[in-house]
Amino acid sequence: MRTSLILAKVAKLIFWPLLVFSFILYWRGHNAEGGGFIGGLVAAAAFGVIGFSFGVHELRRRLYFHPVTYLTFGLACAYGAGALGWWAGSNFLKSLWVEVPVIEKLGSTALFDLGVYAIVLGMVSLIITNLMSDGGIE
């Protein structure tokens, strides 16, 4: 696979800012709609740019865990956020809030959105790694 020099330089330049931006999107959206989903998509795009620039081996190295691990973690977070309502004696997915000194209020919706973030990151990364591996872009 021949890599464009410009793409390689841009990929190195934008990888970390995209990951930081994805976390900002997640954190902004944990109280509103779409935070985990769009944050996960931006994070997956950051990893996708690395994969398309440097190959699937570099993508797997940067992901650190297998994409299925992110999926499993995300499902556990989402289910855990839903089960917190049960454990508190209310309905499944009932939002619970706690007072945190620095952040003020933190809800179980943040845990649910973290799960969505991890699921989206894991699924898109799994698709990208499978397409690159099967397509011969090693």
**Per-residue pLDDT for 138 more than 60?**
no
HSE at residue 27, side-chain half, CA atoms within 13 A, is 8
Range of the structural domain that residue 62 is part of: 5-134
29-60 tens-digit pLDDT: 766 677 889 999 999 999 999 999 998 999 99
Q: List C-alpha distances in Å: 53 to 16, 41, 73, 101.
A: 15, 18, 27, 42
Model-level pTM? 0.87
Q: How many distinct structural domains can be found in the chain?
A: 1
